[in-house]
Chain A
Amino acid sequence: MILVLIEHDTGVVESTSLQALTFARGLGEPLRGVAFGDGGARALEAAGAYGIEAGTHIRAQESHAPGAWAHAIADLAASTSSPAVVAAGTDRGHEILAHVGARASAPFVANCIAAERDGDAWNLARQRWGGSLLEDARVRGPLTLLTVALHAVAADAVPDAAAVAVDEIEPPFSEDDQRVRKTAFEATSTGAVSLGDARLVVGGGRGVGGAEGFVDLDALATTLGGTVGVSRAVTSAGWRPHAEQIGQTGERIAPDLYIACGISGASQHMVGCRGAKKLLVINTDADAPILARADYAVVGDLHQVVPAITTEVARRRTDDPPER
């Protein structure tokens, strides 16, 4: 059986893990889900709709670090003679499989988009450079670890899901596993929509010209109920905090509309906004590389165009108040 790590939020399976499950179904072996912590058993039962036949719920404590979780997965892979462990290409998925790989001396291939068994080997296709480049690779050995690139596979339920047989085990944590301890979770101030979850993002790049130039973008984002994001050039210049960066070394966004202002379109940025459903570009340069990816464009100075849009939205709302 192939093991699939199921990430969940108190029993609700993450959409990224559903994508990983859909990917893993194509590997030609039955699947066993593995879930940790409170709600894990519920998550495994729900994952039955995405093709797992069996599930192992590993009871874990809040203080356990991902390296400790990996110990449990490495032991389970060994005791079940699993040829592969699959996880979503999230920070957590990458981290846990890296620890499993180190522990089991097994190769770990990150951000796969295709995998095919070939005798005792796997032929794989994976993303490099955040997806700007693909690599075909071959790996052999008794155990291979794979993460599935985010949004590379659409989550798809099976038509004839059977009930999942879930077992529960105590984790085999050793003293070494307890050296790294999670001591706290610090919640960010509530109310703000995070970049990753935002339905509308207003992005600013080098073309904004400086920290004070973001006034116009902040105003538009507030008017539209969206969130401001920026390019790497902006955070490297210290104009805005790194937490707002969209790109390979920042956040991945997937809004309904991304309004990119004064952004040229370096690959480092584009891999971060590939998930946007629609892209509207506002740029003085009609030949900027980002135009090749845009659905809509306004050619012009963002400091004139953006305030004009904000004003136009406000004008229509005032002229035409919604009915009560």
Chain B
Amino acid sequence: MNVLVCVKRVPAPGSRIVVTDDALDIDTTHLGFTMSPHEECAVEEAVRQIEAHGGSSVVLTLGPEAAVEQLQHALAIGIDRAILLETDATGWDAIATADAIVEALRTEAANSTPFHLLLFGNEAADSGDYQVAVRVAHALGMPCVSGVKSLEVGDGTLVARRDVRGGAEVFTAPLPAVVAVKEGINLPRFPSVPGRLKARKKEIERRPQAAPTPRVETIRLRVPPEQRSEAEILGRGPDAAPAVVDLLEQLGIVER
């Protein structure tokens, strides 16, 4: 089985996001970067599926040269090959991103073995578009299941579960298929030291991208007005317990 996993490099914001002067990006001067959380789980899932069924895996991202950091993370935990759709341009909306991925996959299919399973994160942490996986699936004529928290791959089919209110929905689909996963499908492993060393020696396959023509044009980013509140200090240490229970009574959580 051949598995592809698509990831995105995103800033790792702490408690507050700051916007750049031109209001078109996040000020990352003081921030680290990471793989978007759902996608971290998609990479782990790709590695587990290959461990279980055999085959090979590829990680793909669209982004700047610096995104090599996230590709190497994926290689370090066991992905075989890495492809960087290289671009410094902004304006990659969901449609442009999906188009670039589809073109890269058509090239892959023509040059080597086509993929049986395409894994994505359900939505990226930064843009939260909820659609790249679905658009790629439609363009390639593949079925797609989103929001997946458990995945079993069998002989030519998959069984996917996802959480809904009061339980889980179970879906089946034939392979090849696109699956968009959510954090919680697994607990991603940390890369080992030998894994990291091996990853650094692997070649990153670079495919330069032309600047996109976005359908959804970002005019500006802004930080929403902060809802600061002055906390009423009920006390310090266990001595505060009576004041807390007074509050619970006042809010009707504990009967008076």
Greatest chain A CB density within 10 A among B127, B134, B161, B162 is at: B134
- Bitwise, B151-172 to A at CB < 8 A (1) or not (0) is 0000000010111111111111
Q: Smallest distance from the beta carbon of A207 to chain B beta carbons, Å?
A: 15
What bracket does the count of chain B residues touching chain A fall in? 35 or more
A188 within 8 A of B: yes
Of B9-17, B54-62, B78-86, the segment with at least 4 beta carbons within 8 Å of chain A is B9-17
The residue on B at minimum CB distance from A107 is B215
Please name all residues of chain A whose beta carbon is closer than 8 Å to the beta carbon of B187 when the two chains form the complex: 235-236, 238, 242
Given A186-B170, A294-B229, residue A289 in contact with residue B95 (CB < 8 A): no
Q: Is the CB of A224 within 8 A of B253?
A: yes
A285 CB within 8 Å of chain B:
no
Are A297 and B183 in contact, with the CB atoms below 8 A?
no
Q: List 10 A-B contacts (CB under 8 A).
A: A107-B94, A107-B215, A134-B222, A134-B224, A136-B221, A185-B164, A248-B125, A249-B183, A289-B15, A294-B229
- Listed from nearest, the 4 A-B pairs whose CB atoms lie closest are A242-B184, A308-B238, A102-B138, A98-B131
Besides A110-B131, A183-B170, A305-B238, 13 more A-B contacts (Cβ < 8 Å) are A102-B138, A130-B128, A138-B216, A185-B164, A187-B166, A243-B184, A257-B251, A266-B15, A291-B231, A298-B244, A299-B237, A305-B237, A305-B240
A185 & B228 in contact (Cβ 8 Å cutoff): no
CB contact under 8 A between A264 and B238, given known A138-B217, A180-B143: no
Which of A34-42, A51-59, A77-85, A311-319 lies at the binding interface?
A311-319
CA distance A71 to B47 in the complex (A): 33
Q: State whether A183 touches B171 (Cβ < 8 A).
A: yes
A115, CB-defined interface residue at 8 Å? no
Q: Within 8 Å CB of B38, what residues of A?
A: 249
Q: Tell yes or no: A15 within 8 A of B by CB.
A: no
- Contact status of A95 and B146, CB under 8 A, knowing A257-B253, A289-B15: yes
CA distance A179 to B227 in the complex (A): 46
Task: Assess whether A99 is in contact with B229, with CB atoms less than 8 Å apart.
Answer: no
Q: Does B126 contact A (CB under 8 A)?
A: yes
Cβ-defined contact, A297 with B234, below 8 A: yes
How many interface residues does A have (CB within 8 Å)?
97
Which listed residue, B16, B159, B182, B232, touches A296 by the CB 8 Å rule?
A: B232
A133 and B166: CB pair below 8 A?
no
Asked if A135 is at the interface (CB within 8 A of a chain B CB), the reply is yes
Q: How far is the CB of A211 from chain B (nearest CB, A)?
A: 13
- Helix, strand, loop or mixed for chain A's interface? mixed
- Whether a CB of chain A sits under 8 angstroms from the CB of B210 is no
Query: In the complex, which residues of chain B have a beta carbon less than 8 angstroms from the beta carbon of A95?
Result: 130, 134, 146-147
A117 at the interface (CB under 8 A from B): no
Contact A316–B237 (Cβ < 8 Å): no
- Contact B184–A185 (Cβ < 8 Å): no
Which chain A residues have a beta carbon within 8 Å of chain B's beta carbons? 65-67, 91, 94-95, 97-99, 101-103, 107-111, 123, 127-141, 147, 176, 179-188, 194, 196-197, 199-200, 224, 226, 232, 235-236, 238, 241-243, 245, 248-250, 256-257, 264-268, 270, 278, 280-281, 286, 289, 291-301, 304-305, 307-309, 311-313, 316, 322
Task: Flag whether B139 is at the interface (Cβ < 8 A).
Answer: yes
Any A CB within 8 A of the CB of B26: yes
A94 touches B123 (CB 8 A): yes
Bound together, the chains give a CA A64 to CA B184 distance in angstroms of: 25
The answer to whether A304 and B238 touch across the interface, beta carbons within 8 angstroms, is yes
Q: How distant is the Cα of A264 from the Cα of B26 in the complex, in angstroms?
A: 22
**B242 interfacial contact with A, CB 8 Å:** yes
B235→A180 contact, CB < 8 A: no
CB of A108 within 8 A of CB of B131, answer yes
B183 contact set on A, CB distance < 8 A: 235, 242, 245, 249-250
The distance in angstroms between the C-alpha atoms of A299 and B233, with both chains bound, is 8
Known: A99-B134, A300-B236. A267 touches B219 (CB 8 A): no
Q: Which residue of A lies closest to B185 (CB)?
A: A242
Which of the residues A129, A139, A176 comes within 8 Å of B126, measured between beta carbons? Answer: A129
Point out the residues of chain A lying under 8 angstroms from B161, CB to CB: 186
Verify A98–B134 contact, CB threshold 8 A.
yes
Pick the residue among A135, A180, A309 that contacts B144 (CB under 8 A): A180
